[in-house]
Amino acid sequence: MPPKKVGSKLLNWASHLDDNALEQARETASMPFVHPHVALMPDAHSGMGSAVGTVIPTLGAVIPAAVGVDIGCGMIGVRTSFAKSDLAGRNLADLRLSIEASIPLSMGNYNRGIGDWEFTASKLAELEGLAASNDVDLTHSPKWREQLGSLGSGNHFLELCLDTTDVVWLFLHSGSRGVGNKIAKKHIAVAQRLCAQWWIDLPNKDLAYLPEGTPEFGRYIKDLRWAQRFAYLNRAEMMDRFGAVFATWMGTDDHREIERINCHHNYTVKEKHGNKDVWLTRKGAVDAHDGVKAIIPGSMGTRSYVVVGKGSASGLCSAPHGAGRRFSRTEARKRFTVDDLRNRMVGIEFRDGEEFVDEIPDAYKDIDVVMEDAVDLVTVEHELRQILNVKGT
């Protein structure tokens, strides 16, 4: 749908939007260094400081809390040459248990098999080299290496999916784990301290920013880029393990990968918008430049989409990152039960349990409405339906 103009520097693509998220977007758009405008994506909902699903272009400054605490969170999907018919007679529960045994679903402290995979060492070496060359201080996270290849909790997940032609896809959602969280919180605190020290009046303390040209800004950008790379490689590591486990389950030595898409949806990057070079923060949004592929997941039990960007200038070459929450986790637990979740997941192999009730599809926006709202931002290339879902703990 075409966007609605809300004030002089805010465009909204969301047909369903809570009042708090709209107010957060107004506050973000009021920051003096925003250029040319803030874009509110179809899946937008309330977040920390800025609404999740907000695209924020800034001149000479970055807002660390707008980037968020899960720096580089995003999706990775692999299209294989296997088809649904190749899965006949195989027990999906066995595959789920193998995945759970190979990929830590919570803290990286439990990732004791970090040396068991031949493809892990090169990723660790790259991250160690990047940290050394950019003087990235990781003393706050002595176990960051063990966090590589771990999923995390909340809405992070792994899935086995089929597209509309019954081709098999491997799919997962994760970010920069505990190390990224500590990097983010450190710089959010610095930004808040500096803005208070400089007597800067902010609409919200989580809109505290770091001005370009200061030592604190330079330090943040170096740490941010390291965390974004960690998140990218963390997804790649889990996908490599997922592929190996899937191949074994299929009785082959190759998961027959045809295509791989790995994209962030919580990050900052330098781009040109409104004829100026800006720091573009996508807080719950994917890169949708013309021809760029991305992944927009629905909630567990619904559908997900592989898309191609249309390069919408008014949309800041961005698109939604998922379904977006309708209810908070606390509210979802009040409204729904584990039996409701089981009824919604009929026909899908999944991790059953009370702890996953707040991830029930009914707690999220209708992904079909989100995709309809995003029709001017992306073209759908593949529609996926999950047959197996593994949520983080």
- Domains, the chain, in order of start with CATH, read 4-326+364-391 (3.90.1860.10), 327-363 (no CATH)
- 10-12 and 38-45 strand pairing: parallel
- Using alpha carbons, select from 171, 252, 187, 260 the residue that is nearest to residue 225: 187
* Cα–chain center distance at 281: 13
pTM reported for the whole predicted model: 0.96
* pLDDT on residue 113: 63
* pLDDT on residue 107: 62
For the segment 306-336, what is each residue's pLDDT rounded down to a tens digit? 999 999 999 999 999 998 788 888 998 999 9
Indicate the DSSP class of residue 142.
Answer: T
Residue 227 host element (H or E): helix 215-250
Select which of 37, 255, 321, 382 is catalytic: 321
Q: Which residue has the tokens 């040109």?
A: 272
How big is the CA angle at 27 (ends 229 and 60), to the nearest 5 degrees?
Answer: 50
- Binding site residue list for GMP: 155-159, 265-266, 297-300, 304, 321-324, 391
- Binding site residue list: 70, 155-159, 173, 265-266, 297-300, 304, 321-324, 391
Q: What is d(CA 196, CA 175) in angstroms, rounded to the nearest whole number?
A: 30
Asked if 321 is an active-site residue, the reply is yes
* pLDDT on residue 327: 85
Counting Cα atoms < 13 Å in the Cβ hemisphere of 65 gives: 18
Going by C-beta distance under 8 Å and a sequence separation of 6 or more, which residues neighbour residue 134? 222, 225, 226
Q: Which residue has the tokens 């809570």?
A: 18
* pLDDT on residue 244: 96
Going by C-beta distance under 8 Å and a sequence separation of 6 or more, which residues neighbour residue 32? none
* pLDDT on residue 196: 97
Q: What is d(CA 273, CA 259) in angstroms, rounded to the nearest whole number?
A: 30
Q: What is d(CA 190, CA 50) in angstroms, rounded to the nearest whole number?
A: 18
* pLDDT on residue 186: 97
**Residue ranges in the chain whose pLDDT is less than 70:** 107-114
